[in-house]
Structure 1
Amino acid sequence: MRVVSSLFLPVLLAEVWLVTSFNLSSPSSEAPIHLESQDQTYENRTWEEYTWTDPSDDENEEFWLRTSQQLSNETSSFGFSLLRKISMRHDGNVIFSPFGLSVAMVNLMMGAEGETKVQLEMGLNLQALSQAGPLTLPALFKRVKETFSRNQELGLTQGSVAFIHKDFDIKETYFNLSEKYFATEYVPTNFLNSSQARGLMNHYIIKETEGKIPKLFDEIDPETKLILVDYILFKGKWLTPFDPIFTEADTFHLDKYKAVKVPMMYREGDFASTFDKKFRCHVLKLPYQGNATMLVVLMEKTGDHLALEDYLTIDLVETWLQNMKIRKMEVFFPKFKLNQRYQMHELLKQMGIRRVFSTSADLSKLSATARDLQVSKVLQQSVLEVDERGTEAVSGTLSEIVAYSMPPVIKVDRPFHFIIYEEMSRMLLFLGRVVNPTVL
């Protein structure tokens, strides 16, 4: 038997929708849905599911604070590394979700064993946290999700749906863990009738995402056994919106020789900002409601933006934040929409995650029939739209950096980078660059 799994992460940031899906396919069978029996699970407690408890009481709060901060830092580092891999392939617009990709891969990691799991842990920078306990990572992501959901002003919600074929032999332990830590809802699906399955899943996703993702599935392999869809909805509204009456067409310089016209928003007010003397870049905070922020990094000279990416680290970003000062200024910021799709499996291979995409993958914790089970691809598609109301989306050394008196006007009229993160956890939600705001 051969089973192939495909993992998709389309992120629609038109009210930030992040969608992740695994596609596990194997030869067809008419057997009913089979979950490993409870007796079998008790006989082989490899996950320690029935003895390990979340350290969630007061005396363990320090543990959660420490590990949550570490999770945020490692996810950010993973995101910056991934940005560098993407930049090696093209120098245009970029938008992706490090957080969303990490959530999906940790969900998959729960089914991995041996070298397959080790490579996933190391590639995601999560080996230290994984060693803290067998279920520490899923529990951490669950707590992050619960924290976000309690903050109604943030406007971020998450969910997970699994479309499962009637004869796929998924282990009950994995089934239960997926429900517990990722709140996965399972929907019976007959993949042998691919057109019917495609219609059912598209209808379900349209309903779950409030119509933001009208056609997620174009083709369905009739031998598919399991598709897991994780979605994230982020409706970011500026803490202080831009007034549309001041939005006017203005020039955006693509490079020294080319320029385009874009709708340029304008607002006068108090902004937190700093200037990095080493990298010669302005760093500006544009806060959302609910303690989220877009950090805009604008190089002083047009054309220097790509050179910055080799040096982007969590320490550099933290230093920028520590050196910010609030001052009254005028800000011009372009309206734009990005739509990017990446073959993440190719990028992940470059980061050392190879075995899960090969015939030697070990996903024995996911299925009892794990022989030849492998992941075929990981895709992420992101759409980011920024306007006067906010963002709607569905995905150096300290001595060299100073907070200085920024000019009274900052005009974002040349290529820039953006970082969208949640303030309390410092979790990196979205990362990207805008080279041409008129190109999707």
Structure 2
Amino acid sequence: MSRSTQELLGYHCRLQDKLQEQEGSLAAEGRHSLASAADHMKVVPSLLLSVLLAQVWLVPGLAPSPQSPETPAPQNQTSRVVQAPREEEEDEQEASEEKASEEEKAWLMASRQQLAKETSNFGFSLLRKISMRHDGNMVFSPFGMSLAMTGLMLGATGPTETQIKRGLHLQALKPTKPGLLPSLFKGLRETLSRNLELGLTQGSFAFIHKDFDVKETFFNLSKRYFDTECVPMNFRNASQAKRLMNHYINKETRGKIPKLFDEINPETKLILVDYILFKGKWLTPFDPVFTEVDTFHLDKYKTIKVPMMYGAGKFASTFDKNFRCHVLKLPYQGNATMLVVLMEKMGDHLALEDYLTTDLVETWLRNMKTRNMEVFFPKFKLDQKYEMHELLRQMGIRRIFSPFADLSELSATGRNLQVSRVLQRTVIEVDERGTEAVAGILSEITAYSMPPVIKVDRPFHFMIYEETSGMLLFLGRVVNPTLL
């Protein structure tokens, strides 16, 4: 570890010792010092990012054509004779670079599509694992979970790394070159973050015990590819560590997640946290004037009252005769879409989860037809937190959570380290708000025929995709819209 990094970690640890002396509460001066330290932590790695960013998009196996050495032309009439061949060489070089660029774009597109497909299938597998423990509301981000584990994979090697890759369904991603996965995820992260209309906030922290020696390369690569903030903690003082980590998460999520940690194990060496916030704006918003309290069927015997939104206009949908379910497409601004899957028969929603795959979803999308419809859709807000390490163990990612973990790329003492916890908290809110209501939305309904009606008044599943990449951002199930 470089001297500058050691000084930075030393400074951060001294700050925590100062806070420990003031255990009763965070005084105003302590909060100011914490904020200053957090800002300082962000400045140093970001300088490294700007240096390394240029190499991200180099395609494995595709190198730029070497530049021909330029020979200065003599200052006489023969310079005109020499210039013509040089112009031809430059034209050939430009053509070669354009060809390489087109091949690079095609390769990147194919790789991203494959990444999106495999991440979606990982999400469906994870849904089934969560469903075995929870039969109520659920929501999580397959994209965020894959980001977090791929970031942790930078510190893993050998069977530990292989297990993570297999568990994330990414072992089939080809060509498998060093740095391929981080580069692809980095490109997707940057694309999504530039899309301000999407309204997606994603980030990650690696909270590391202050006496644990982390390799400089892991710091640099984590920041380069995933913008991960590595923050030293004194886990021996569990109450202080909990307060500090909650402060970091609360600040980064702008108060949306004020308390992520309830308790901390003093023996912890590393905690990896991934957070996702999403507040989508409908491309065609629901008019609040038409929202009314209506009946939602929890099961065959129980009902509740929920605020039900109403929309009329052109919607894309399909009906799957094999699974007897309606699939409705509700587009967001920012080129994202919510797919709502509503079983025809009450109580069948859990059985559908065994069959969810990207191939099935693609079949639904191909069979979509746009037509005038009436849609009734409940307002809901979900705020879910999962201890993902137990679920990941069930999916075959075991070694990294055991004494057999090999994290030697993270630390020189990596063979004596295991990951303690992996948490994910996801917040999603669905209501009428978005852009201003579109005038004349009802005018497209044909006056002489009754439009089809889809009324989402019983348990349903939803998926939120970013359409350009095909990446599954969120996957969830709503059993009771009135519960978080």
TM-score band, normalised by shorter chain: 0.7 to 0.9
The one of 386, 392, 405 equivalent to 1:361 is 405
- 1:92 — aligned with what? 136
Q: Give the superposition deviation at 1:379.
A: 3.0
**Per-residue Cα deviation, 1:137-179 (whole angstroms, up to 9, x for no partner):** 1111100011112211112233334444442211111111111
Contact 1:337 1:383 in 2 (8 A): yes
Identify if the C-alpha distance between structure 1 residues 406 and 205 changes in structure 2 by more than 3 Å, giving closer, same or farther: farther
- 1:29 — aligned with what? none
SS in 1 for 2:203: strand
Contact 1:274 1:283 in 2 (8 A): yes
Instruction: Provide the aligned length of Structure 1 versus Structure 2.
Output: 379
Contact 2:144 2:202 in 1 (8 A): no
Q: Give the superposition deviation at 1:302.
A: 1.2
CA distance in 2, matches of 1:175, 1:284: 43
Equivalences for residues 27-426 of structure 1 within 5 A: 54-55=57-58, 58=101, 59-129=103-173, 132-389=176-433, 408-426=452-470
The one of 462, 473, 484 equivalent to 1:429 is 473
User: Which is richer in strand?
Assistant: 1
- 1:34 — aligned with what? none
CA distance in 2, matches of 1:342, 1:189: 22
**Per-residue Cα deviation, 1:253-299 (whole angstroms, up to 9, x for no partner):** 11222211111111111101111111111110111100011100011
CA distance in 1, matches of 2:214, 2:392: 25
SS in 2 for 1:417: strand
Q: Give the superposition deviation at 1:210.
A: 1.1
Contact 2:460 2:479 in 1 (8 A): yes
Q: Give the superposition deviation at 1:133.
A: 1.0
CA distance in 2, matches of 1:195, 1:130: 45
TM-score (norm 2): 0.73
CA distance in 1, matches of 2:393, 2:416: 19
CA distance in 2, matches of 1:102, 1:279: 29
Q: List runs of 5+ in structure 1 lacking aligned partners.
A: 1-48, 392-404
Identify if the C-alpha distance between structure 1 residues 116 and 95 changes in structure 2 by more than 3 Å, giving closer, same or farther: same
Contact 2:282 2:333 in 1 (8 A): yes
Identify if the C-alpha distance between structure 1 residues 174 and 300 changes in structure 2 by more than 3 Å, giving closer, same or farther: same
TM-score (norm 1): 0.80
SS in 2 for 1:425: coil
Q: Give the superposition deviation at 1:107.
A: 0.8
**Per-residue Cα deviation, 1:322-359 (whole angstroms, up to 9, x for no partner):** 11111111100011122333332222222111111111
Question: Greater CA deviation, 227-236 or 75-84?
Answer: 227-236
SS in 1 for 2:221: helix
Q: Give the superposition deviation at 1:390.
A: 5.8
Amino acid at match of 2:466: E
Contact 1:266 1:332 in 2 (8 A): yes
CA distance in 2, matches of 1:421, 1:136: 23
Contact 2:235 2:264 in 1 (8 A): yes
Contact 1:294 1:420 in 2 (8 A): yes
Amino acid at match of 1:367: S
- Percentage of pairs with the same residue: 75
SS in 2 for 1:170: coil
CA distance in 2, matches of 1:347, 1:154: 29
Question: Greater CA deviation, 331-340 or 320-329?
Answer: 331-340
Question: Greater CA deviation, 132-141 or 336-345?
Answer: 336-345
CA distance in 1, matches of 2:392, 2:232: 31
Contact 2:274 2:425 in 1 (8 A): no
Contact 1:288 1:390 in 2 (8 A): no
Amino acid at match of 2:58: P
Identify if the C-alpha distance between structure 1 residues 212 and 434 changes in structure 2 by more than 3 Å, giving closer, same or farther: same
Contact 2:141 2:276 in 1 (8 A): no
Contact 1:161 1:184 in 2 (8 A): yes
Contact 1:274 1:406 in 2 (8 A): no
**Per-residue Cα deviation, 1:115-142 (whole angstroms, up to 9, x for no partner):** 1111111111011237611211111110
Identify if the C-alpha distance between structure 1 residues 357 and 192 changes in structure 2 by more than 3 Å, giving closer, same or farther: closer
**Per-residue Cα deviation, 1:393-429 (whole angstroms, up to 9, x for no partner):** xxxxxxxxxxxx9962111011111001101111001
SS in 2 for 1:352: coil
**Per-residue Cα deviation, 1:339-391 (whole angstroms, up to 9, x for no partner):** 33333222222211111111111111111111321123333333332111269
Q: Give the superposition deviation at 1:188.
A: 4.7
SS in 1 for 2:148: helix
Identify if the C-alpha distance between structure 1 residues 165 and 236 changes in structure 2 by more than 3 Å, giving closer, same or farther: same
Q: Give the superposition deviation at 1:222.
A: 4.5
CA distance in 2, matches of 1:332, 1:423: 24
CA distance in 1, matches of 2:205, 2:389: 22
CA distance in 2, matches of 1:360, 1:186: 23
Question: Greater CA deviation, 93-102 or 124-133?
Answer: 124-133
CA distance in 2, matches of 1:406, 1:188: 63
* Pair member with larger Rg: 2
